[in-house]
Amino acid sequence: MSGDRPENEFVRTGQRLCSPSFERNHRPLIDVLATVLGTAGGDVLEIGSGTGQHATCFAQNFPQYRWWPTDPDTEHLVSIAAWTEHLNTGNVAAPQHLDATQDPWPLGEAGYAPASGLDTIFCMNVVHISPWSVTLGLMRGAGAHLRHGGHLILYGPFARDGAHTAPSNARFDDVLRRENPDWGVRDRADVERAAGDRGLTLERTVDMPSNNFTLVYRRR
C-alpha cells in the first residue's frame, strides 16, 4: 500500500515507539530539509511528531536548530521524550500537547515554542489521517507564527488535479475513508488554496518514496 501508515506499524521498545516507515523516508527527508533550513539556525515546530524518531533524527542532523515536537496523543508524547533521552538529543525541547485545530495555538506558553518568528513548521503524515479542519488549523497556525520568509513543510500522499498519482494511492485513500469518512488523501490544489488564504505560497513539490510528496510553502 502507498503512503506511510506508522500508527498501524508501531513496534514498542520500552517506552519508545518505532515505525518501519522511518527507515524508508528519513534520509530523503533530510535531503529536502537540507535545501530549506539555513545555516544560521532557528526554531522548528513539528506538528504531529508521532513516535519522535524523526524529531530526534532531524535535530541531530541540523544541530543549529531547536526542534519543538508536539502531538495530541499522550502515548506519542511519552515516546518522543523516551527517544530524546535515549539519543541524548540536546536540541530537542520537551514534547508538548498540541491539537492543530486549537485557536489560538498555545505557543509562547511555558514549555512551548516561541509564538512568533518560527523558522520552519514541519508536519508529516498528518494531513491525510485527520479531518480537513486539522489542515485548516495547520495553515492558520503557520500564517500566525512563521517568520516572514519562513517555511511550512508537509509530507505525505497527495492527489493532483482531482486524480490520484498512483493506483496504490487510490486504494490507500479508499482504506482511509472507510476507516474514517473525515480522512483521505488530499488534493494538492485544495491544500494550496488553504495555504494561500493564510499568506503561504507553494515554493516547490518534491517526489518522495512510496508515492509520497514533500510540499514546501513559504510565508509571504
Q: What is the pLDDT along the chain (220 residues), one digit of tens a residue?
A: 445 544 456 888 899 999 988 999 999 999 999 999 989 999 999 999 999 999 999 999 999 999 999 999 999 999 999 999 999 999 999 999 999 999 999 999 999 999 999 999 999 999 999 999 999 999 999 999 999 999 999 999 999 999 999 999 999 999 999 999 999 999 999 999 999 999 999 999 999 999 999 999 999 9
Give the pLDDT score at 47: 98
Do residues 186 and 128 lie in contact, with contact meaning Cβ atoms separated by under 8 Å? yes
| Rounded CA separation 106/115 (Å) | 8
Do residues 217 and 151 lie in contact, with contact meaning Cβ atoms separated by under 8 Å? yes
Report which DSSP code applies to 15. T
| Rounded CA separation 216/206 (Å) | 8
* Nearest to 55, CA basis, from 24, 74, 32, 29: 29
